[in-house]
Structure 1
Amino acid sequence: MKRTVTELADGRQLIYFDERDDAVREGPDRRVLPPPPPGSQLRYDALVDEWVAVAAHRQERTFLPAETDCPLCPSTPDRSTEIPAYDYDVAVFENRFPALSDRGDGGGGRCEVVCFTADHGASFSTLSPGRVRTVLDALADRTVELGELPRVEQVFCFENRGVEIGVTLHHPHGQIYAYPFLPPRTRAMLAAARRHAERTGGRNLYADVLADEREAGVRVVAANAHWTAYVPAAARWPFEVHLAPHRPVPDIPALDEAERDAFGPIYLDLLRRFDALFDQPMPYVSAWHQAPVRDVDRELGHLHLQLFSIRRAADRLKYLAGSESAMGVFINDVPPERAAELLRRAG
């Protein structure tokens, strides 16, 4: 893989990840752009010990443009986009409308956009295993580099897909948030993992849960020599799957060559099962849970991908109502064992 670092017209960083060593990325960004927005405000909610980012400039971000106006497609001689090249494999750049930023007097952090392909009409599920490997290597690269920034505590890689989820751009892409704090879910998982380690003489909580799921098999959807996909016993979403490596590793950069190669085929299979479930594109969130960058409990982490959808039936969505939104107590209409059975059949 060839890595080429350049800058956009307003000074934001752009990185090409090419599958050919002879790729040339010398085309400049021909646009005239205003400076990037000032950093977001981070406000502390003392009532629940959590941080909230206030990013007023995001009100002006691009919203569901026509394909001819897509900012993630390659540039052409007649139109310049966020990607100056006329073609690309995988490209990563600083978000023009970031939720987190260390510019100016911002609260810190960074947000990046990951373009999986130049093909506007594709989806992650239509990528080749080789392209998935390129994406995974790009995420590993960004996890390392972003984790070295001052004040960054965790690197979160994710993809939102479908207007039902709230995407604002149709082009196949994901995002990376470099948080200047530990998010609530990470803190909760680390606290549970710490208690488990203290009770069991240092055992890894997620590794033990994964081993139990693999042995029981009832909620396992798919598996290969290095990865297992299963529906969690306490799944919050109608269709939710964890995809985890058998070897406990803290983050994507720690995956070895065999694990990286084995990820693409099983993940593509899983996405295609989701789409086949109701014979229509499934809206989903795909979220990588990585260990914190420098927290003392980093060794308690276990890398895993959480894939979930808000669709609970062909014509019905799950909305976060009072119990979920106000109290954080989820009510799932689809038993996890039933969800696993349906996903196995969909394959």
Structure 2
Amino acid sequence: MELRWNPILETWVMVSAQRQRRPFMPKESCPFCPGSGKVPDQYDVYLYPNDFPHLMKDPPEPSIQDDDLLRVERAFGSCDVVLYSPDHTASITQLSREHLARLFELWRDHYRAMRERADVKYVLIFENKGDIIGVTIPHPHGQIYSYPYIPARPAKELDSARRYWESHGGACLFCAVLQKELAFEKRLIWTNEHFVAFLPSYADYPNEAHIYPRRHCGSLLDMSKAEAEDFMDGLQRQVRIYDSLFGFELPFMMGFHQEPVDGAEYPYFHFHVEFYPLHRSRDKIKYNAGSETSGGAFTNPSSPEENAEELRKINAEL
């Protein structure tokens, strides 16, 4: 377990050979269910340290020697699992408002706690859902990775937002995108008092939904109680829409994009959530092929405007 530096792309890679030993649990055996001995016999939401982490508070020394070009460092940080419910067959779509509030508090409190750790620079709250994404335990859960560096995609977002801020008199790039989408309307999915969901014009994936707060804020810590309630209601609504799209629970990847926790100020960053569903139709998957993987050039095989119209219709029927 270690971090290895790619000097060509200037990114870190987490090397964690122990991940190969992760078991695919039999359906009748789940470590996240009460009674397993791995989790409390009673809980509603629960933070569980990953049994096969990429990052640790006290990681081992690297397995190879580095040099000035091919740097290798210890993999500081943490990898945690967030259990949404003790019910093995539950979904975030079935949780009560009170239960969702406790889930929000767990996410927020862990993000706050990671800010106090000197070895953590960025906290990513995310969920992988579905067998095709490689989920080994179907119990409803998400994850939190706390990195000792800022990963490449958030780093690029931060750089773009900073440059826009500097060239537009302190204006927010994300706020500008949001206002464009609200004015255009055709890519909107749903709105509530405090949040807006839309398919961006530049979506990489079919039905790739982004959720933005209307008010400029950088992280979960900045949200009021009313905003937190609307946020969790919106997350739940978005998953319900996805599950109604093709008549089955839609596999997706989802991540919270928040301010880094490295002690610097980021007035130009705007919290948001991105969903990446893999199905482009009921029986077809959007794979990252040669252009996406080798060139970093995505092709979206669908129209965000047409997809948004379909998702709006589903939302109206919920």
**Is TM more than 0.5 here?**
yes
Alignment partners' CA distance in 1, 2:133 and 2:78: 22
Aligned position for 1:99? 54
Aligned position for 2:249? 281
Alignment partners' CA distance in 2, 1:299 and 1:98: 32
**Long gaps (5+) in structure 2:** 61-73
Partner SS for 1:210: helix
Aligned position for 2:29? 69
Please give the TM-score of this superposition, normalised by the length of structure 2. Answer: 0.92
Q: Does 1:82 align with 2:38?
A: yes
Q: How many residues align?
A: 302
**Long gaps (5+) in structure 1:** 1-39
Alignment partners' CA distance in 1, 2:272 and 2:56: 26
Alignment partners' CA distance in 1, 2:14 and 2:217: 30
Aligned position for 1:116? 84
Using the TM superposition, give the Cα deviation of residue 62 of structure 1 relative to its aligned residue in structure 2, in angstroms: 2.5
Using the TM superposition, give the Cα deviation of residue 295 of structure 1 relative to its aligned residue in structure 2, in angstroms: 5.8
User: 1:321/1:108 Cα in 2 relative to 1: closer, same or farther (>3 Å)?
Assistant: same
Which stretch shows the higher mean deviation, 288-297 or 154-163? 288-297
Partner SS for 1:300: coil
Alignment partners' CA distance in 2, 1:194 and 1:233: 21
User: 1:308/1:129 Cα in 2 relative to 1: closer, same or farther (>3 Å)?
Assistant: farther
- C-alpha deviations, 1:24-57, integer Å up to 9, x for none? xxxxxxxxxxxxxxxx200000010000000111
Aligned position for 1:315? 283
Contact residue 190 and residue 297 of structure 1 kept, 8 A: no
Alignment partners' CA distance in 2, 1:204 and 1:179: 25
Alignment partners' CA distance in 2, 1:197 and 1:341: 32
1:161 to 119, 129, 139: 129
Alignment partners' CA distance in 1, 2:45 and 2:16: 27
Using the TM superposition, give the Cα deviation of residue 87 of structure 1 relative to its aligned residue in structure 2, in angstroms: 2.2
Partner SS for 1:232: coil
Within 5 Å, which residues of 2 pair with 1:7-86? 40-63=1-24, 65-75=25-35, 80-83=36-39, 85-86=40-41
Aligned position for 2:258? 290
Letter in 1 for 2:245: L
Letter in 2 for 1:98: P
Using the TM superposition, give the Cα deviation of residue 342 of structure 1 relative to its aligned residue in structure 2, in angstroms: 1.2
Alignment partners' CA distance in 2, 1:148 and 1:156: 15
Alignment partners' CA distance in 2, 1:149 and 1:234: 36
Alignment partners' CA distance in 2, 1:292 and 1:46: 22
Alignment partners' CA distance in 2, 1:306 and 1:257: 22
Partner SS for 2:79: strand
Query: Relative contact order (alpha carbons < 8 A, sep ≥ 6): 1 or 2 greater?
Result: 2
Aligned position for 2:71? none
Which stretch shows the higher mean deviation, 295-304 or 42-51? 295-304
Using the TM superposition, give the Cα deviation of residue 266 of structure 1 relative to its aligned residue in structure 2, in angstroms: 2.1
Post-superposition, which runs of at least 4 consecutive aligned residues in structure 1 deviate over 3 A? none
Contact residue 188 and residue 197 of structure 2 kept, 8 A: yes
Letter in 2 for 1:333: P
Alignment partners' CA distance in 2, 1:228 and 1:81: 41
Alignment partners' CA distance in 1, 2:301 and 2:258: 28
Aligned position for 1:229? 197
- C-alpha deviations, 1:293-328, integer Å up to 9, x for none? 126452221111111201000000011100111111
Letter in 2 for 1:134: R
Partner SS for 1:244: strand
